[in-house]
Amino acid sequence: MTPLEEGLAILKEHEGGFTWNPADPGGPTNFGVSLRFLRTQALDLADVDGDGDVDIDDIRGLTWERACSLVWIPIFWYGPKLNLLPGPLAVKTFDLGANVGPVQAGKFLQRALRACREPVEEDGIIGRDTRAAIERVEALGAVLASLRSEAAGFYRMLAIKNPALEVFLKGWLTRAYW
């Protein structure tokens, strides 16, 4: 299984199918794609049902295959160039990015590298400097452990800052530490 295939399998497990939790600021979600996110995309891509608008019907009509081809593979895998990272870091950063966005997941990775004594700029862009820092690390397991810790701390702070989100904390922490 390639890192992308592994990442998609984990993502599907974590995101599941259609949900609509009133506490979720993204609104209705299917396979991890929220209505809020879908509305930021070009109409010709986001209008899943072809009726000229992007609404809950488009979220309900989204298939796993369409979610992968529209969002997960081009925007969240290749967009931040996760294909250029070692498999375990790519998969973990991909799954976190699906939940918090690729830039925030990139910042988690950069903080994890700094925790492993690899100074990198925390800009969320997994560019040449971040990839070079990863190559210098002797123990990728330490970066992965730090990445999990960064994600968990972020999720805890979200719940503290907005108590309405605490309903998601257990699931978020499970995701952070898998």
Domain-terminating residue out of 26, 58, 78 = 78
Residues 155 and 166: their CA atoms lie apart, in Å, by 9
Distances (CA, A) of 14 to 17, 116, 135, 146, 176: 10, 28, 29, 21, 11
pLDDT at 87: 95
Over residues 3-61, the pLDDT tens digits come to: 999 999 999 999 989 999 988 888 999 999 999 999 999 988 899 999 999 999 999 99
95 shares a domain with 69: no
Residues 147 and 32: their CA atoms lie apart, in Å, by 21
Domain-terminating residue out of 52, 78, 104 = 78
Over residues 106-142, the pLDDT tens digits come to: 999 999 999 999 999 999 999 999 999 999 998 999 9
177 shares a domain with 149: yes
pLDDT at 151: 98
The tokens 């922490």 sit on which residue? Answer: 173
155 shares a domain with 127: yes
117 shares a domain with 71: no
Q: What are phi and psi of 26, to 5 degrees?
A: -80, -15
Dump the DSSP string for 96-126: HHHHH-HHHHHHHHHHHHHHTT-----SS--
